[in-house]
Chains A and B, each alone.
Chain A
Amino acid sequence: MAVLVAVSLYFIIPPSVKTRLGLDLQGGLEVVYRAKTADGKPPSAAELDQTIAILDRRVNGLGTTESAIQKQGTDQISVALPGIKDAQQALDTIGKTAQLEFYKDDPQSRPVGPVATKDEALKQLKRQGASQEEIDLLAAEGNTDKYALVVQPADPATSQPEQWYVFKRPPALNGDAISGARAGFSGQTNKPNVLIDFTPEGSKTFQEVTRELYRTGLLKNSPQTFAIVLDNVMSSDPMIDYTDPGLRDGISGGAEISGGNMTIKESKDLALVLRTGALPVTLEPTYQQQVSATLGKDSLRQGLIAGLVGLGLVLIYMLAYYRFLGMVADLALIVYGILLWGLFSAIPVTLTLPGIAGMILTIGVAADANVVIFERIKEEVRHGKTVRSAVNSGYARGFKTILDANILTMLTAAVIFVFATSSPKGFALTLILGVLVSMLTAVLFTRAMLGVLAGFAFFSKPAFMGVRTSQIEVAAVAEGRTAASRRRRAATADDGQGVLVPATDGAATAPAASSRGASPAGRRTSTTRKKKKRR
């Protein structure tokens, strides 16, 4: 046990560094996303896992530490970013689908556009023979198997208003063709942009597409464009200059996304998102919690105060009620606290507010185990057993009760852990760990302590555990019917002859009084019986 305590202390110290705090205690951001596929269906398990992997890379790219990304249910993902400063920016970056698509900008691939409104774009598509079903899906999700609804945001620089397009799928190229992306500056305008590198295959396709555009331009004697679309927003529509013979063979290198007026930070985030790849699903935030560091610290302080005062009161209660035994239990409780904290730091479990509540509750549960055992011991002592044998049978019998009670608590906690969502989950985990550790300290540890102490002479005095000597002899007076019933029980068990009257208050005194004389005998027999049973 000493070793365990030492190991725990090693894991705990220094607590400010080694205890992992949840975002509700140190400030930060938590988002729960609901994932759906591009056309609004629930995602498959593989898609969800892939999404989590991509999110993980993005979150790491943001430079946050101790982030946690978890699957919740079949279609939800929770992302926790403790300690993050700029929550807005982070949210924009993480949740982006980053579906990058390149479309040829000719009437064949672009059935509709540019038009001024979304409704107009849909109406025109309808006129071209798309089904109502198709139109509705496109209106709701922006994507179908056949079409993509794309908006080009208004550009204040050229005072060009917002424009809408419908492109035909599949695109000439998509995000799979990208091997890398980095933030840079545009050569002409010196504004931040993102440079894209293609995979060898992507590069070949891109070259083919641009060569084709060059030739079409030459034929039609007008410059052709292609559209770079990111998540249904047109981020640029570069023109292929057919008068430039250098472009005869198409463009082979890479592409750039200029996207209006990006800040440097935005261009870096976009590059990160493109680098980590497109999500196979779209994410829609269903729950978002943002806590500032100050509030987190306050919550932590309040939780700690509540925990310490609670622990203190329990220690005093145990000591006052069980005297010497209480002291042993108190020591076990302190050891319990250290072990649980050590376990939390070692695993490590992220400590959240609900977790603290769970921990504080388990202080009570841990002490409960000792109450059950000590009451049993006191009972046995009142029956006239020696302290030492009372301790033995008290543990043997008390343990059975505790086991049943604790297994039930843990069963429920396990069910919560499996089925419930984020905050109850932390609570349940704490409870399970707490109950397990408490069995170790409250049962094994106190048992060992008492085993050692049993060698000392003072140990055999019942007063050390808060049993008054008078209670042993005159229990009948002090406890009235309880004691009487115990005598009766002994009698029934032994001779099985006694005719028993369910007592009303009046009747209680009679058997109690009569059994007082017989009690030594009854006591002895009951002790022997129990001893036999133990062997």
Chain B
Amino acid sequence: MDFFRRIYSFDYMGHKKWWFTISAIIIIAGLASLFVKGGGNPVKGLNYGLEFKEGTRISIAFEKQPSLAEVRQTVSDAGYADAQLQETPNVAGSNQRGFQIQTVTLSTTEQGELKQALDDAFTIAKPGGSEVYTLETVGATFGRQVVSSSLKAVVIALLLILVYVTFRFQWKFAIGAIGAEIHDLLIVIGIYSLTGREVTTATIAAVLTILGYSLYDTVIVFDRIRENQPKLSRLPYGYMVNVSIWETLTRSINTTMIVLLPVLCLLFFGGATLKDFAFALLVGILSGAYSSIFVASPILTVLKEREPQNRKLKLAARADGS
């Protein structure tokens, strides 16, 4: 209980520098990983899924699990000696053991021939009459298009957020909100690079969503700051922000918990695609909750404390306190 009492009375704004440092360390670690893994090119520092690479990927399960070497032999005999094979305990989310085969881009005829060859050799599993078989083919331009359209979406979304928050609050709040957004995005990207998790279109969708949702807690705090400002105008700005955080802390914790519950369920019970979503959402939501208190509010405080009347209050308070 002592911990809980303390978080409701902690001087958050007094430790701004600490929070900025912590965030900076995590972000720098992520960026460093991007640069190191990408060999100098940060765009290459992520483990992109097939959607971003040219080629064909087949996920398949057989009636009796053959050895990896046997499957490799069959694929190689079919003319794809340089195909990448991987055994998987869970073919595309079914609970079937099977394989992932990644080859160069196959034409429809070649796809049919390879499937036939595999079926002849090992017999594709058919629980309930339909085959456990998925195929994905991606051309050279698709991945680039997904990335470029997503980047466009991020920039436009950030601009809209900037405009909306400026309109509803004030530009200084907007800077805080955007700072938190960029912080969240960098953290998610950094964590993907550090953990080497595969980046899929699902990941990108989740990251874009985080952009919208991670502001939920920030808005709650900002809303309270806006409300408290006229009432507590005699308090130093940072202290008033502290008060606002204390007052809204329960709701920040609860809203985050409540969104995390279903996301965690997705992470535990969902198939491969849903897990991708859930992981990105999990990181983004946690980061969003953190950044509302430790990034957005401190940025706002820094900006506001530069205003002449606030600076005076702060100095007076410092003199009083010592």
A and B held together in a complex: yes
A401 partner residues in chain B, CB cutoff 8 A: 219-220, 223
Max count, chain A CB within 10 A of own CB: residue among B8, B205, B268, B270: B205
Given contacts A354-B273, A424-B205, A431-B209, contact A313 B161 (CB under 8 A): no
Q: Are B131 and A294 in contact, CB atoms less than 8 angstroms apart?
A: yes
Q: Are A409 and B216 in contact, CB atoms less than 8 angstroms apart?
A: yes
Mostly, the B contact residues are: helix
Q: Which residue from chain A places its CB closest to the CB of B265 in the assembled complex?
A: A310
Q: Are B239 and A480 in contact, CB atoms less than 8 angstroms apart?
A: no
Q: Which residue from chain B places its CB closest to the CB of A284 in the assembled complex?
A: B139
Q: Are A412 and B212 in contact, CB atoms less than 8 angstroms apart?
A: yes
Q: Which residue from chain B places its CB closest to the CB of A318 in the assembled complex?
A: B258
Q: In whole angstroms, what is the CA distance A25 to B251 when docked? A: 36
Q: Are B142 and A287 in contact, CB atoms less than 8 angstroms apart?
A: yes
Q: Are A400 and B223 in contact, CB atoms less than 8 angstroms apart?
A: yes
A292 partner residues in chain B, CB cutoff 8 A: 130-134
Asked if A505 is at the interface of the complex by the 8 Å CB criterion, the answer is yes
Within 8 A of B (CB), among A397-452: 397, 400-401, 404-405, 407-413, 415-416, 418-424, 427-428, 431
Q: Which residue from chain B places its CB closest to the CB of A72 in the assembled complex?
A: B145
Q: In whole angstroms, what is the CA distance A488 to B248 when docked? A: 17
**Whole-angstrom distance between the Cβ of A233 and the nearest chain B Cβ:** 14
Q: Which residue from chain A places its CB closest to the CB of B127 in the assembled complex?
A: A294
B94 partner residues in chain A, CB cutoff 8 A: 294-295, 298
Q: In whole angstroms, what is the CA distance A412 to B320 when docked? A: 45
Asked if A356 is at the interface of the complex by the 8 Å CB criterion, the answer is yes
Q: Are A354 and B271 in contact, CB atoms less than 8 angstroms apart?
A: no
Asked if A364 is at the interface of the complex by the 8 Å CB criterion, the answer is yes
Q: In whole angstroms, what is the CA distance A443 to B270 when docked? A: 30
Q: Are B220 and A372 in contact, CB atoms less than 8 angstroms apart?
A: yes
Q: Are A91 and B277 in contact, CB atoms less than 8 angstroms apart?
A: no
Q: Which residue from chain A places its CB closest to the CB of B219 in the assembled complex?
A: A405
Q: Are B232 and A357 in contact, CB atoms less than 8 angstroms apart?
A: no
Q: Are A290 and B135 in contact, CB atoms less than 8 angstroms apart?
A: yes
| Stretch of A57-65, A211-219, A241-249, A300-308 that contacts chain B | A300-308
Asked if B138 is at the interface of the complex by the 8 Å CB criterion, the answer is yes
Q: Are B266 and A306 in contact, CB atoms less than 8 angstroms apart?
A: yes
Given contacts A292-B131, A293-B130, A415-B157, contact A34 B139 (CB under 8 A): yes
Q: Are B157 and A416 in contact, CB atoms less than 8 angstroms apart?
A: yes
Asked if A375 is at the interface of the complex by the 8 Å CB criterion, the answer is yes
**Whole-angstrom distance between the Cβ of A292 and the nearest chain B Cβ:** 5
Q: In whole angstroms, what is the CA distance A330 to B131 when docked? A: 41
- Tally chain A residues at the interface, Cβ within 8 Å: 98
Given contacts A73-B145, A424-B150, A424-B201, contact A299 B271 (CB under 8 A): yes
- For chain B, the bracket of interface size reads 35 or more
Q: In whole angstroms, what is the CA distance A480 to B249 when docked? A: 14
Q: Are A371 and B9 in contact, CB atoms less than 8 angstroms apart?
A: no
Q: Are A502 and B235 in contact, CB atoms less than 8 angstroms apart?
A: yes
Task: Give the residue of A294, A295, A306, A485 whose beta carbon is less than 8 angstroms from that of B243.
Answer: A485
Asked if B300 is at the interface of the complex by the 8 Å CB criterion, the answer is no
Q: Are B254 and A371 in contact, CB atoms less than 8 angstroms apart?
A: yes
Q: Are B209 and A361 in contact, CB atoms less than 8 angstroms apart?
A: yes
Within 8 A of A (CB), among B247-276: 247-248, 250-251, 254-255, 257-266, 268-271, 273-274
Q: Are A492 and B231 in contact, CB atoms less than 8 angstroms apart?
A: yes
Q: Are B270 and A306 in contact, CB atoms less than 8 angstroms apart?
A: yes
Q: Are B273 and A299 in contact, CB atoms less than 8 angstroms apart?
A: yes
Q: Which residue from chain B places its CB closest to the CB of A311 in the assembled complex?
A: B262
Within 8 A of A (CB), among B155-202: 156-157, 160-161, 164-165, 168, 201-202
Q: Are B201 and A423 in contact, CB atoms less than 8 angstroms apart?
A: yes
Q: Are B223 and A357 in contact, CB atoms less than 8 angstroms apart?
A: no
Q: Are A32 and B142 in contact, CB atoms less than 8 angstroms apart?
A: yes
Q: In whole angstroms, what is the CA distance A172 to B145 when docked? A: 40
Within 8 A of A (CB), among B189-238: 201-202, 204-206, 208-209, 211-213, 215-216, 219-220, 223, 227-228, 230-236, 238
Q: Which residue from chain A places its CB closest to the CB of B136 in the assembled complex?
A: A289
Q: Are A306 and B321 in contact, CB atoms less than 8 angstroms apart?
A: no
Q: Are A313 and B263 in contact, CB atoms less than 8 angstroms apart?
A: no
B153 partner residues in chain A, CB cutoff 8 A: 415-416, 418-420
Task: Give the residue of B93, B133, B136, B205 whose beta carbon is less than 8 angstroms from that of A302.
Answer: B93
**New A-B contacts (6) at CB < 8 Å, excluding given A405-B219, A416-B157, A427-B205:** A287-B51, A357-B202, A415-B160, A420-B204, A493-B231, A508-B9
- What are 10 A-B pairs with beta-carbon distances under 8 A? A87-B135, A289-B134, A291-B134, A302-B269, A364-B261, A401-B223, A415-B153, A416-B157, A479-B5, A503-B239
> 9 nearest interchain CB pairs?
A412-B212, A310-B262, A286-B139, A364-B259, A424-B205, A310-B265, A288-B137, A306-B269, A293-B130
